[in-house]
Structure 1
Amino acid sequence: MSKLSVLGLGLRCPEQATQRCLDSLRQADRVFLISDNLEKQDWLRQLNPNFYNLMTHYALGKPRRDTYQEMADQVLDCLKSGGNAALVSYGHPLVFCDPSRLAIEQTVGAGYELEVLPGVSSIDCLLADLRVDAHQYGLQIYEGHDLLLHAVAVDPSCSQIIFQVPSLGDNTGGWQPGRFRGFIRALGEKLAQSFGEDHEVVLYFGSNSPERPTRADRCLLKELHQVEMVSEYTLWVPPLGYESLPPDLQSRDVPVDLELAGTGMAWSDRTQEMTDLMAGRDVYTLQAIPELPEAVAVDDFTRLPADGRPKLVLFPAHPCNSGGVHWARQAQAAGLSYRIRPSISWEGGVYCDVPIDPGLLGFQSFPARHQPPEPINLATLLRLPADPRPGARYWGPVSAFQEQAQADSVALFVTGPSPRPIENGPFLRALQLSAVERLVAFLELHESRLVLQKNPSAKMWLHANLQLAGREIREALAKTDLAQLAGDGNWSLYLLDHPEHPAAPYLLLRMRCEEALESVAKGISLEPLVGWIKAHR
């Protein structure tokens, strides 16, 4: 039977590629890649010459959903022909990767064999570079629109990781990052309800290219909407009372006294980077590794010999899942230089076992002592102690997660409700705050036909455009073609469904102007519109 392997190369490839991933790549009859990175393409061809880049399906003006479906269909065609396929993306294959999700659904539906292998994700890199203690505090992960729209219970005692903050309010993917700051402001207000407006947060960009350095820019929640955005930013909100360590943004080639790395969910999940680190260093491990008998087992930082030799300590899964940040704090107190290396995290393993996309559905992960908030409106991983003694925990690999814990399980995975409940307040607030910005963005698309330059006042400009839009719509309604097509007076729905009609932009103009006037009446500034009018007068 044909088999599909869905693989992640890691954010920084090839050093973060796992041994399991490399083995699957070599065995595939055909490799399909989702990446425009030429270096990755050359590297993959050396592993397997039967290589095809799915990026050729992208086209200007083509809907993304059509592109992703074509990618998944091409992979399925390979399976139908009797071959084994590998679908490869950078990072983790199920973190914001629609082609992988579609290919998995079609493969399962057609009855073919499937394996999904985790990769080092952008989340794993964020944990390591920002030195986030997921071991003690847990994580909540979701996309920015998700937090505004759904009734997600934000827990200020654990870290929040929020995707796609710069593109909030952009449903086309065509605007510059941070274009709709009203949405970003609404997100900051939502988080401030739990953390306070003076809580410091970090906007993180994890680079996958030597030409673009990793960034970690700090601001207060009340300043979030004022920050100059980078499209790849992910927001980290530390827990209340959390003592942050300085982020690690230096070159990974700079030698340090202590390297803290993870073995992933299994020894075969070790990255090439971790393998390279073992050369020339004394190797220590928190748990015995049968494949590495020469490693010395230690259970505490103080048991490391103070001999000045460079050391590598291996943790189960990701160091930030397994106490690595505590070791980092001890190393810093001892005056030692250190670095946390990203690896496959507990969460990354769960995404593949379920499977689940944390960006689309939301995800949270807690240690056993933590009491998750109710109601749980995110998929939840509750890590249970294998040892019944009070306070004991087990942080080893988990082979599979199910909706209910097995008798011998060490973790409990709970799926969130489907569909999740809607919370209108924050999202409506975002629409209100961004009403003028969305009007200006709309005008930029239709500038040549819709601009009135004779009015000096922004409010007068809005009223004049309302009159213009009403006149154009009335003239269109008087034409028999629109009257016949719309029928029963539903002309507004018809125009919204047919943006190519000459009257459709005027209906949208009327709606945008009405929204802007309503928001201005509630105290929203017209400054973006004033600036736009001046620039086009």
Structure 2
Amino acid sequence: MTSVSPAKPADSEPRGSIACVGLGMTLGSHLSPLARSHIQQADVVFAALSDAIVEMWLEHLHPDVRSLQPYYGDGTNKSRAVTYREWVEVMMAEVRAGKRVCAVFYGHPGIFAWSPHEVIRLARAEGFRAHMEPGISAEDCLYADLGIDPGRLGCQHYEASQLLFYETPINPCACLVLWQVGLVGDRSMTRFSTGTEYRQVLVDVLSRDYPLDHEVIIYRGATLPIEQPRIRHVALRDLPATEVSSDETVVLRPAVPLRVNHAVRERLAALDRGIMVPPN
């Protein structure tokens, strides 16, 4: 995605600023005190959140909350790339006007989100203060809800379409987390879902490293305090026929055990004994 070109600052010491903060995944309970402070102290707040209920909750924290959702242009073939550039421009317009801007994103503002990174880059290039405040992400909730410790066997994360568009290596000894499987194979950035045939292509790629009876976990974290995480289990071969929404994540646990590197272990053991062994 092409970067937005910086404009000339209005003066040598621009007063505007922007903070991109994460609201977390579960309404209210994940908001950090620092993120709350950025929201309450802002002149204007922009919101890209998971649903209207969350936006209504945010309006209790600030009198001027402006939703970014209408920029998607529902019912049109508008590219999301265009929408995200518009988000950057509307936020920067307020920064250039000297406002303290806070942009609130669900989850973590820097994960699967182009606009927060771009608006911060652009603001800094024009001499404005810009900051990103992290939030609890879908990844954090996934580890807790599925009982996965990424430090035990390792964990690899890919946007699902990356596996189709590029020669992407997969380590079947580690957990595999695939994001946006509901959109897998979309090259237009105008769709909000793709179908069975596209998921079949993904399964064909995954079957090079996983047996077709390998378990696939389809996960969606809770976004409201009254909700529970949604966790479904299907065989890899059944994934094409299983509806997967754009906000669900697919997880494959390791298919094979870790392979012991005997040569390196022997070298380390020799070092423990005080013996220097040259590398092969």
TM-score normalised by length of structure 2: 0.77
**Partner residue, 1:42:** 56
SS at match of 1:152: coil
Higher relative contact order by CA 8 Å / sep ≥ 6: 1 or 2?
2
* 1:167/1:57 CA distance change after superposition, 3 Å: closer
Is the Cα–Cα contact under 8 Å of residues 13 and 90 in structure 1 kept in the other structure? no
Give the letter for the 1:19 counterpart: P
Aligned to 2:239: 224
- Using the alignment, how far apart are the partners of 1:57 and 1:224 within structure 2? 32
Higher Rg of the two aligned structures: 1
Compute the displacement of 1:176 (Å). 7.5
Partner of 2:219: 204
Q: Secondary structure at the match of 1:162?
A: strand
- Residues 161 and 186, structure 2, Cα contact 8 Å, conserved in 1: no
- Retained in 1: the 8 A contact 2:79–2:188? no
Match of 2:199 in 1: 184
Q: C-alpha distance in 1, partners of 2:204/2:86?
A: 39
For residue 60 of structure 2, give the secondary structure of its aligned residue in structure 1: helix
Q: Does 1:215 align with 2:241?
A: no
Alignment-derived partner of residue 186 in structure 2 = 170
1:253-292 paired onto structure 2 within 5 Å: none
The Cα shift of 1:65 comes to 2.3
- Structure 1 counterpart SS, 2:207: helix
Q: Distance in 2 between matches of 1:235 and 1:150?
A: 19
Match of 1:122? 138
* Alpha-carbon distance between aligned partners in 1 of 2:243 and 2:66, rounded to the nearest angstrom: 37
Q: 1:471-522 CA distances to partner (integer Å, 9 max, x unpaired)? A: xxxxxxxxxxxxxxxxxxxxxxxxxxxxxxxxxxxxxxxxxxxxxxxxxxxx
User: For 1:349-377, what per-residue CA distance to the aligned partner results, in whole angstroms no more than 9, with x for missing partners?
Assistant: xxxxxxxxxxxxxxxxxxxxx99xxxxxx
2:65 maps to a residue whose letter is F
Superposed displacement of residue 155, structure 1: 1.1
Structure 1 runs not aligned, ≥5 long: 243-369, 372-389, 391-537
* Distance of 1:71 and 1:77 partners within structure 2: 10
Greater share of helix: 1
2:121 and 2:169 map into 1 onto residues whose CA distance is 29
Partner of 1:153, secondary structure, is coil
CA contact (8 A) 1:167 1:173 kept: no
Contact persistence 1:192–1:199 (CA under 8 A): no
| 1:121 positional shift | 1.0
Task: Summarize the Cα distance change of 1:176–1:94 in structure 2 as closer, same or farther, 3 Å threshold.
Answer: closer
Query: Are the structure 2 counterparts of residues 213 and 69 from structure 1 closer, same or farther at C-alpha, using a change threshold of 3 Å?
Result: same
For the structure 1 residues 66 and 161, does the alpha-carbon distance in structure 2 shift closer, same or farther, using more than 3 Å as the test? same
Structure 2 unaligned spans of 5+: 1-14, 262-271, 273-280
Map 1:406-417 to 2 at 5 A.
none
CA distance in 2 between partners of 1:174 and 1:72 (Å)? 19
**Distance (Å, rounded) in 2 between the aligned partners of 1:118 and 1:176:** 26
Question: Where do residues 362-441 of structure 1 align in structure 2 (5 Å cutoff)?
Answer: none
Which of these residues, 81, 84, 105, is aligned with residue 100 of structure 2? Answer: 84
Distance, in Å, in 2 between the alignment partners of 1:197 and 1:36 is 33
In the alignment, structure 1 residue 13 sits paired with structure 2 residue 20: no
**Percent of counterpart pairs with the same letter?**
27
Question: Corresponding residue for 2:41?
Answer: 27
Superposition CA RMSD, Å: 2.6
Change (3 A) 1:28 1:238: same
Residues 136/175 of structure 1: CA separation in 2 closer, same or farther (3 Å cut): same
Structure 1 moving runs of 4+ over 4 Å: 172-178, 210-213
TM-score by length of 1: 0.42
